Amino acid sequence: MKTKLLIPLLLLLCAGAAAQTSKKELCKDLGRTGSNYFAYPGPTQKALTPAPAGYEPFYISHYGRHGSRYMTDNKYYVRAIGALDSAARLGLLTPYGQDVLDRLQKGYADAWNRDGDLTALGGRQHREIAHRMYERFPSLLSQPLQVDARSSTVGRCMLSMFYFCQELQGQNPELQIRMDASKRDMKFVVEDKGVKPRKTDRHKEYYQRLEAMQDKAHNPARLLKTLFTDVDKASAFVDGPKLMEALYNVAEDLQNVPELGISLLDVFTKDELFNMWTCYNASWLLDCGLVPGSTPMYLQQKIVRDSIESIADRVIRDGKPTVSLRFSHDSSVLPLAYLIGMKEAQGGRPDIEHLYKYISIDKLIPMAANIQLVFYRKDGSDDILVKFLLNENETTLPIKTDVAPYYHWQDVKAYWEKSF
Amino acid sequence: MKRIRLALLCLLLLGGTAGAQTSREELLSHMELTAGNYANYPLPTGHLTPAPEGYEPFYISHYGRHGARYQTSDKSYRRVKDQLDSAKKLGILTEYGKDVRHRIKAAAADAKDRGGELTALGARQHRAIARRMYDNYPQLLSQPLQVVANSSDSRRVMLSMANFCNQLKSLNPALDISMNASQHDLYYIKSNKAIVVPDSPTDDELYRKLKKFRKKMMRWSPQMESMFTDPGRAKSFIDEYTFADDLYNIAADMYCLPELEISFDDVFGEEGMLNGFRSYNAAWCLWEGLMPGAKKSYYRIYPLLQNFLDDAAAMIASGGSGLRLRFGHDSVVLPFAFILGFQEATGATDDMENLHKQFSLFRLIPMAANIQLVFFRKDGSDDILVKFLMNENETSVPLSTDCYPYYHWSDVEPYYRNMIESAHLVYQTPEEDED
């Protein structure tokens, strides 16, 4: 009885700790400062909590972001190379600046005509996630299941689905996998942009504060001195903050093409990276509506959450074990995590300048980010348990349970019913 | 299902006698082939000549069209529906016309928001082709092989690739398969619009001739007339040619959706379906430059030929084994078969009335159409043999050989490289992507 009381308390404590990322943690793994460019780190939790006695998994509902990708547009390469190339012609580049330019050109040559494409690492991430899913739930996945996979119509999402499914197929050749990426299904796969929540009273103020944060974080004075021999002359054709923004995007995306062996993170100090990251973090959370009083854009994803629920109910009714896979985007995973009630997406505060202390998106939407709902049942019982994994780590919802990290599906449904 | 099985059986027979000749009688007993480039993939004959003593397959290089699909847009549904709705309002639809209208509505509802998408049959076709590839070359494909696959960026093509690769993976989990669908590779996966096609003085005349021929082929059948109590009044707001052409496309696409169990063949009757087929047969032949006197638009497929040659050369030089898969479109398979010199794609004339007798789309670009080059080598010998497959049937190229259907790569490679070189390709940035 005592332990039962303790567990919820501990969970509450954990909730605060796990959802944020400290500056120290960021500096240890600078890739995290890439926000949504952060390459999938893999689960930190190696062993999952065993299900209560007698309960067996019979259904997995998986919702994943595409894996590592190239930038969706070459504009940042064009902008950064344009600035440094012009300076080189005028003899204004330092040797270090020249070195940065060489690296930029190498990266751009590889990225040319590959805007938004899944990278090789992106393919591997999905294979590995599928591989772990098989290893974690072999009693379910070794059956001759019918697997239903749907992806957004974007190429990188489709290829992510292909790699995921292919790995499952290799693990169990008996699986019957149906893949599709149809316009007809999009309302169950990606957020519905047609849902337009009304802007809140605080909307404008929040974005003004965000802009001020961004201006402050993109102070290029130190950076420009390392690149150019004469900053004044270079400033005639170089927009410092914009160059900084371009270099940040290029540098952070390079972690998704590790085969290239190029890094550009050294152009920034850790403080600069940290400061820019806090802006991107705040911007994502504001755009999604996870800050109190911000426009609730997460409502665009409600149809997806409802469909996850109704399909789970159908599977429970039918009783036939199966797996549903969906492949989508960061802008879909983030609101879904929030709507499900996952602790990592809760706790946003109006203090957007320090929002990273409460929510940080490297925990939520790295490349290949994913949400898994694993359903369990027990012979001779109607009780259905469900467990929630965020990026393959068990997580919690603000619901009481006597079998944490498992929840009674009826309780989850009741919570969803009243929460949004 | 029964219908499909029967069709497959018949096709086996047809394939056996094939060659490249098509008779009216054959078509009449295989109406499903009149769907032309919508036709369900005909099963291969299954006849494969064993390789000469001591030769083993080590590399397959493949290009395949996506499988069965929905029509790429809903415009034919929309037009036909609107016209039949108007006729209904005017009270000039017969019972038969009302029945056709109901079927159109059902098919259109199924196709809604699925323009150009792969159908379930399309996925099955690709899995079946992969399965047969594995069964035909188990000594090669049971190895822990590297498979390099890429596709055009169109979703039906990507999904075709995924289904093909998944089938292979289920047969041999040790395969290491990479898949891609990047803008980066479109210059050879699709017709390369940057290549300038030289003008042909006879091209315009051929197009005029085609237009006349198509109008003649798409004349209304008696059944179409019988859809209206007053056909004359119907024709005052319905363009005869467009209406028939739309209906033919809808009728043909139904062969991609056997689960729907809807057919419009009755609207045309046998003669009408044959004529629809002949209309598109001649059109494709001209569009892709396969008709004598036409613009050589197949120049734009040379980068694909180059890619086949270069990849093969690299594989041969490496001494390794592998599988190379490419997935694209009918607008590539057809001219590619032509530049390779396949018997099925050559010998067309501008006699549009009779063209289908020696040039038949269903032999070339049914749904899931594909071209495979299978390479063989022999221990202790430098000689490399290659075999050409059109839709999995052995075919010929215009070179002499002492071991047909196998050809010596030392004859094949210089022949094609010389062909590309003598085309003196000119590149120019295209104004607008035409696709």
pLDDT digits (tens, 9 = 90+) for A268-277: 999 999 999 9
Q: Which amino acid is at B298?
A: Y
Q: What is the pLDDT of residue B21?
A: 77
**Model pLDDT for residues B331-389, shown as the tens digit of each residue:** 999 999 999 999 999 999 999 999 999 999 999 999 999 999 999 999 999 999 999 99
Percent of chain A with pLDDT over 90: 93
pLDDT at B429: 82
- B316, B309, B345: which is closest to B418 by C-alpha? B309
| Interval B24-41: pLDDT, tens | 888 888 999 999 999 999
B405 found inside a domain: yes
- Given the structure tokens 């629920």, which residue do they identify? A309
Residues in A 87-116 with any Cβ partner in B closer than 8 A = 112-115
First to last CA, chain B: 35
Contact assessment for residue A29 and residue A36, using Cβ atoms and an 8 Å cutoff: no
Half-sphere exposure of A152 (CA within 13 A, CB side): 20
Residues A175 and A262 in one domain: no
Q: How many structural domains is chain A composed of? A: 2
pLDDT of A212-239, one tens digit each? 999 999 999 999 999 999 999 999 999 9
Contact of A352 with A281, CB cutoff 8 Å: no
CA distance B110 to chain A (A): 10
Cα B276 → chain centroid? 17
Does any domain span residue B430?
no
How many Å lie between the alpha carbon of B297 and the closest alpha carbon of chain A? 25
E strands of B52-180, at which residues? Answer: 55-65, 146-151, 176-180
What's the CA gap between A306 and A396, in Å, rounded? 19
**Is residue A9 scored above 60 in pLDDT?**
no
Cα torsion angle, A121, A122, A123, A128, sign: positive
For residue A7, what pLDDT band results from cuts at 50, 70 and 90? very low
Q: Given CB atoms, is A237 within the 8 Å cutoff of chain B?
A: no
Cα–Cα distance for residue pair A309/A320, rounded to 1 Å: 16
Q: Does A162 touch chain B (CB under 8 A)?
A: yes
Average pLDDT, chain A: 94
Q: How far apart are CA B432 and CA B435, in angstroms?
A: 9
Contact criterion met (CB below 8 Å) for B384 and B408: yes
Burial class (CB in 10 A: 0-12, 13-18, 19+), B119: buried
CATH code for the domain in which residue A12 is found: 3.40.50.1240
Distance of CA A54 to the CA centre of its chain: 34
Closest residue in B to A175 (Cα–Cα): B170
Q: Check whether residue A51 and residue A122 sit in a common domain.
A: yes
Give the pLDDT mean for A68-96: 97
Cis status, amide bond into A366, omega within 30 of 0: no
Q: Which residues of B touch A169 (CB under 8 A)?
A: 166, 169-170, 173
- Kindly state whether residues A48 and A129 are assigned to the same domain: yes
Per the prediction, chain B carries an average pLDDT of 94
Does residue B218 sit in the same domain as residue B237? yes
Contacts of A184 in chain B (CB under 8 A): 112-114
- Please tell me which of the candidates B117, B166, B183 has its beta carbon nearest to residue A114: B183
Name which of B278, B291, B288 is nearest B206 in CA terms.
B291
Nearest to A181 among B155, B171, B180 (CB): B155
8 Å CB contact of A159 and B113: no
CA dist list (Å): A189 to A67, A340, B16, B175, B356: 16, 15, 46, 30, 45
Is the domain of A31 the same as that of A64? yes
Contacts of A186 (CB under 8 A, 6+ apart): A152, A153
| Pair B87, B158 in one domain | no
A351 in contact with chain B, both atoms CB, cutoff 8 A: no
State the Cα–Cα distance between residues A41 and A118, nearest whole angstrom: 17
Strands A406-408 and A384-390: antiparallel
Tell me: do A197 and A224 sit in the same domain: no
Chain B CB contacts of A118 below 8 Å: 180
- Residues of A in Cβ contact (< 8 Å) with B122: none
Q: Which of B180, B189, B190 to mutate: most A Cβ within 10 Å?
A: B180
Q: How much is the pLDDT for A23?
A: 87
The two structure tokens encoding residue A41: 């780190």
My answer on whether B374 and B271 are in the same domain is: no
> Are A171 and B173 an interchain contact pair (Cβ–Cβ within 8 Å)?
yes
A180 touches chain B (CB under 8 A): yes
Residue A13 clears pLDDT 70, i.e. is over it: no
Candidates B192, B414, B428, B171; CA nearest to B301 is B192
| C-alpha to C-alpha distance for B48 and B66, rounded to whole angstroms | 24
Which of the residues in chain B have pLDDT under 50?
1-18, 434-435
B179 with A162: Cβ contact below 8 A: yes
Are B249 and B326 within one domain? Answer: no
Q: Does A123 touch chain B (CB under 8 A)?
A: yes
- Number of Cβ pairs closer than 8 Å across A and B? 84
Instruction: Count the helices and strands in chain A (H runs, E runs).
Output: 15, 8
User: pLDDT at position B23, please?
Assistant: 84
Give yes or no: residues B98 and B236 share one domain: yes
Nearest to B184 among A114, A153, A161 (CB): A114
Name the one residue in this structure whose structure tokens are 């995306």: A253
Chain B residues near any Cβ of chain A (below 8 Å)? 112-115, 117-118, 123, 153, 155, 158-159, 161-163, 165-166, 169-171, 173, 175, 177-184
Least confident interval from A8-17, A381-390, B150-159, B185-194: A8-17
Co-location of A64 and A88 in the same domain:
no
- How far is it, in rounded angstroms, from Cα B315 to Cα B336? 21
Nearest beta carbon to residue A181 from set B159, B179, B180: B159
- B305-311's contacts with Cβ under 8 Å and 24+ in sequence apart are B305/B336, B305/B339, B305/B340, B305/B416, B305/B419, B305/B420, B306/B188, B306/B420, B307/B188, B308/B61, B308/B63, B308/B373, B309/B413, B309/B416, B309/B417, B311/B61
CA–CA separation, A397 and A308 (whole Å): 16
Chain B residues close to A156, C-beta within 8 Å: none
How many whole angstroms from its chain centre is CA B266?
25
- Last residue of a domain, which of B252, B287, B322? B287
Sign of CA dihedral B297, B405, B134, B259: positive
pLDDT of residue A19: 63
Query: Based on the domain organization, do B99 and B218 belong to the same domain?
Result: yes
Task: Indicate if B166 and B59 belong to the same structural domain.
Answer: yes
Tell me the residue range of the domain where B312 lies: 2-66+136-197+298-422
pLDDT attached to residue B7: 45
Cβ contacts of A123 on chain B, cutoff 8 Å = 178-179
Query: Same structural domain for residues A25 and A60?
Result: yes
Percent of chain A with pLDDT over 70: 95
If asked whether residues B245 and B324 sit together in one domain, one would say no
A193 conformational bin, left if phi > 0, alpha if psi -120 to 50, beta if neither = alpha
Task: Answer whether residue B427 is part of any domain.
Answer: no
Is residue B274 domain-shared with residue B391, that is, in the same domain?
no
B207 shares its domain with B92: yes
Residues A163 and B165: their CA atoms lie apart, in Å, by 10
The answer to whether the beta carbons of residues A343 and A407 sit under 8 Å apart is no
The DSSP output letter for A259 is G
pLDDT range class, residue A11, cuts 50, 70, 90: very low
Q: Where are the beta strands (DSSP E) in B275-383?
A: 322-328, 370-378
Which has the closest alpha carbon to A145: A325, A308, A368? A325
Quote the pLDDT of residue B16: 38
Q: How far is B171 from chain A (nearest CA, A)?
A: 7
Taking a C-beta distance cutoff of 8 angstroms, is the pair A177, A165 a contact? yes
Q: How confident is the model at residue A27 (pLDDT cuts 50, 70, 90)?
A: confident
Closest C-alpha among A242, A268, A237 to residue A254: A268
- For A40, the token pair is 């999938």
- A326 CA to chain B: closest CA distance, Å? 15
A14 pLDDT above the threshold of 50? no
Q: Note whether A125 and A150 are same-domain residues.
A: yes
Amino acid at B397: V
Q: Does A158 touch chain B (CB under 8 A)?
A: yes
**Predicted confidence band of residue A12 (pLDDT cuts 50, 70, 90):** very low
CA dihedral B343, B346, B349, B353 (to 10 degrees): 60
**Do A297 and A413 sit in the same domain of this protein?**
yes
Compute the Cα dihedral for B279, B281, B287, B293 and give only its sign: negative
Residues A234 and A259 placed together within one structural domain of the fold? yes
In a domain, B434, yes or no: no
* Rg of chain A (C-alpha set): 23
A275-292 per-position pLDDT tens digit: 999 999 999 999 999 999
Closest CB from A162, A170, A184 relative to B173: A170
Q: Within this chain, do residues B191 and B335 fall inside the same structural domain, yes or no?
A: yes
Q: Read off the pLDDT band of A18 (50, 70, 90).
A: low
User: Are B384 and B324 within one domain?
Assistant: yes
Q: Å from A302 to nearest chain B CA?
A: 22
Question: Please, which residues 183-212 of chain A have a Cβ atom closer than 8 Å to chain B?
Answer: 183-184
Phi-psi sector, B197: left (phi>0), alpha (psi -120 to 50), beta: beta
Give yes or no for a cis peptide into A405 (omega within 30° of 0). Answer: yes
Quote the CA–CA distance of B326 and B148 in Å, as a whole number. 8
Set of chain A residues whose Cβ sits within 8 Å of the Cβ of B108: none
* Structural domain harbouring A346: 2-68+118-201+285-419
Final residue in a domain of this structure, among A239, A269, A299: A269
Q: Which of A269, A296, A322 is the last residue of a domain?
A: A269
- Whether residues A264 and A398 fall in one domain: no
DSSP reduced 3-state for B386: strand
User: Are both A142 and A24 inside the same structural domain?
Assistant: yes
